[in-house]
Amino acid sequence: MKNARVFVFSLTLYSFCSLFAQDIKPKDPDARFFHLDTISSELISKDQRWVSFLKGENVLTGLYYLKAGDEDKQRPHDTDEVYYVLKGKASFTAGGKETEVSQGSVLFVKANVAHRFTNIEEDLQVLVFFDQ
């Protein structure tokens, strides 16, 4: 019985160590890593509203920034998109429906549907994923 417990403990310890070893293996050229604070700082310092920072075969990812009181002038896009609100508070209108958004809100808009942020009360930072 003691040998069985030692075996199970050893197997568990090996599995646990293997799990973490996968996280620290050499750099993988098929992966990229970003820090949103850095991207956000660059976007704001250049007084821009949009920057894309990753384009893959199936997704385009970017950061969208609107100051409190700004007008969102975006037009419908020809691909589906997902918004994840990182900071701020506003309303969002899409397909004739309106909702309040703030940190943590996730929004989906189908391709070619008119949409925009309105009533931007607090500076808005939004992570955007476009289907490609």
For residue 55, pLDDT beyond 60: yes
> What's the pLDDT tens digit per position in 7-24?
333 333 333 333 332 333
> What's the pLDDT tens digit per position in 68-117?
999 999 999 999 999 999 999 999 999 999 999 999 999 999 999 999 99
Pick from 81, 126, 80, 77: nearest CA to 101? 126
Domains, in order of start, for the chain: 36-131 (2.60.120.10)
What's the residue count for the chain?
132
* pLDDT of the residue at 129: 96
The pTM for the full model equals 0.74
* pLDDT of the residue at 7: 35
**Tokens representing residue 112 in the block:** 């070619």
